[in-house]
Structure 1
Amino acid sequence: MNFFPTPYPDEILYSTLGRYCIRSGNIKEIHNFEDLFSTRNCIASVELPSKIDALIENMPVNSIYTAEYFIYNHTLFPFYAAFIEPQRAEKIIKSMRSGRGADAYIRLGLVSNSIDLNKYFRFCPQCFMEDIEIYGEPYWHRIHQITGVFVCPKHKAPIYNSQVLVRGGSRQRFITPSIDNCIVEKEIYYPNEYIEKMIWMAEDAQRLLNSRFDFKEQEWFKRQFRAKLIEKGYARMNNFVHQKKLAQDFIDFYGEDYLKLVQSPVQNKSQNWLSSMVRYNNRITFTLRYLLLARFLGIPLDTLFNERIGFKCEYDDIDSYQQLWEKRLVELSQLGLSIREIANILDSTPKTVRRAIDKLGIETFWKYNGGGKYVNKKYTDTNEFKVKRDHLRAEWIKLHNKYPNKSSNQIRQSHQALYRWLSKYDLEWLRQHSRRKANISSTVDWNKRDKELLSKVKEVVKELQQGKPQRITWSTIGSRLGVNGWLLKRKDKLPLTREYIESVKEGLQEFHIRKIKWAIDKLEKEDKEITYWNLVEVAGVKPRYLKFISKEIKDILIEKGYNCDFL
């Protein structure tokens, strides 16, 4: 290239490349890709562009730009990758610098995530006019393209969809904003209770784009959030979290409608994305949800990334440490643990724990077999033990009389606590008063069942072969028919069914090839371009599996008259 446009403040790289295409003088769009990347085998990606190393190599002599500069200052990488661990971030950067752009989206979970990315490029009308006045032309701003950002942080005003698709249409064109494709057909008015939250989100997103915080392991963020949850009374120091209370207060804070708008509703109050975030696991969710939780807990982003939240064990903070230690002691003493167990958790001694309990006047609920309650005699020698044993024996006999057709093992399944106590303290008696259920001989006519099942299996296979592909296996067929528990185990008694399923079941590569064929047909019907990225996204086949079936994919594409150079 003989020249390259100077990127504007907060301009997304896609927009800068679009301005190059306008000035290049090339008649055909594809020639712009050859200028920029030295290849035609490339697509115009918005959030996480690839082949950036090739772009740098083609820059004019003495160019000051680097791949790192573009990635951190003119793509959405700093936002989408803000909460991932350093090793994964490094791999994503390598994918963006090379030609494996699809890998970057997959590693960030943007392909399988429940979040739908923006369908259209977005713009702020006031920024649009200011850009023309200052620079002589408008451009696409990074902050406006982030999913979940609905207002411009600079003007505190709504942003609008343009008429330019982010995905779909031609993926080998860079389209810049203009008065023809950035039209405000109808003004947007958000409820007042939304505006404040939308401004928060826009400002926090902009902070992530511009601050270049250090990448952290997931454990860092889990501990940061956990410390605040404890401080605000949503969690205890023994890792217990009041999930329902947390979920309800979170919903009250943001409102159900706003959470739906940012694709983060909290529906089931005990099992949802929010409950997963505050548990100790390595799952990574969408960046926007980290920002939602941080705002709710009152954690500034600088603090979240740079300062360890929670108690610090300095000498001059000994009073705070004592209060925290005593608070945890109160919590643990209500869980039915022995003094020794509490001492181990608190990294203390039983003597210290007992003295603190007496000092604080804690009402304890000790286990019968510990905690210092029976210091001078065994628990099994006490009258309390004998009373409880007689009561539980009577309960065990009562259950057997109530369920005469059940074995002791079946009764045990729904009365685990009773069984555990008796097996621990009264095992010999328990053995003498247990029964087994007599085996009932099978009267199944397997020949008849085989014939009936075969017709049902054929119907299921026909359904699986239509619509979005599902792998045809014994397990899939059994699940559809509700017989997964015994179908495979009894296949030797079902010769007709077994022979048919074995003839139609799919190996992993066969299934992937069928998914690719389906994806090509779907892209054709939707009039979309057949590209590597589109095949991965629509078929749902991970790139690491495509290399094993690349020959078959090429044959399919050639047969349909498509170029297969991108494989």
Structure 2
Amino acid sequence: MDPYPIKIKELNIEYVQNAELLLHNGYPRKELDYIIRFYIDRLREKGLASSNGSLYMKEVLSQFMLYYPEQYLELMQSSFTPDSPSNWLRLFVTGSNKNRIPLRHLLYIQFLGVDLDTFFRSDVVVGKKPDTKSFNPIFDIKKRREKWMKLVTENHGATRSELKEIGKGLHTWIFRHDREWYEKVTPRNKARKRSADSIDWEQRDTDCLRIAKQAVETILNRDGKPTRITPTNIRNTLGIGSWFNNKKLIKTNQFLQEVKENTEHFRIRKIKWAIDEMLSNEDTITPYKIQLFAGFGGSNKEIRELILQTLEEYK
């Protein structure tokens, strides 16, 4: 019985074909500087890097994980933890002289949708560009203005510092390139004679509870392997900092604790997801294959028992 779904087979076929081309076509050697600049150019074309070559790393990580199933990355010894600042994918397109194994170059090239002939025969690469104020396309300004206004509206009553924390990269761009407009539309911090008491915490709590519930729905409906529902993952989904844990947000904190997913419940949800995916791919269903597909490894007896119990619901 074949333990691998069709998508993994297709990805691996393309990888093997590229590996054979690399071995037999006598391509010219490329310096690391060229390779990094080539990657940045392709990421910019895919909308995963800014005009000056700064990577939208959250989007890069997200798109890479959508392209490659976790099971395949584990097989290729290239899995990573997205939140870790030292994961290999986060550091791959940097000026670091640290060696990068050919296997991961092939994975990256495949992710970018580039054939090896293009990679090795290209003569002109740009990479990062100087960040100048003169290069601010009208489209970029309009798009970012819309995003900033949406952020301000959805966080009514938030201070500028809080808005900066919520929309980190967006705030930096607007503040640097569109300062006059930013000053006109962004609420100013009011003088606080009574410090934090001037905040309507009841209203803030209501607003935070609403968006926390929306984040849970987003996590549950997200494509791909399930994400565990935890306060941290809810905050990450919203792009919100630690202020979300303020003790005065009573209803919000209560909800975060109530909705927090215990280990067994999350495991069952992953198992059900794996079964549904395998059924949709018309794969043969066995407990062992489910265990591998869900990313648990094949030797955990406790997981195997959960899988057997869950399979009973499908009979």
The TM tier, using the shorter chain, reads 0.3 to 0.5
Structure number with the higher helix fraction is 2
TM-score, normalised by the number of residues in structure 2: 0.45
Q: Give 1 or 2 for the bigger CA radius of gyration.
A: 1
Larger relative contact order (C-alpha < 8 A, sep ≥ 6)?
A: 2
TM-score, normalised by the number of residues in structure 1: 0.27
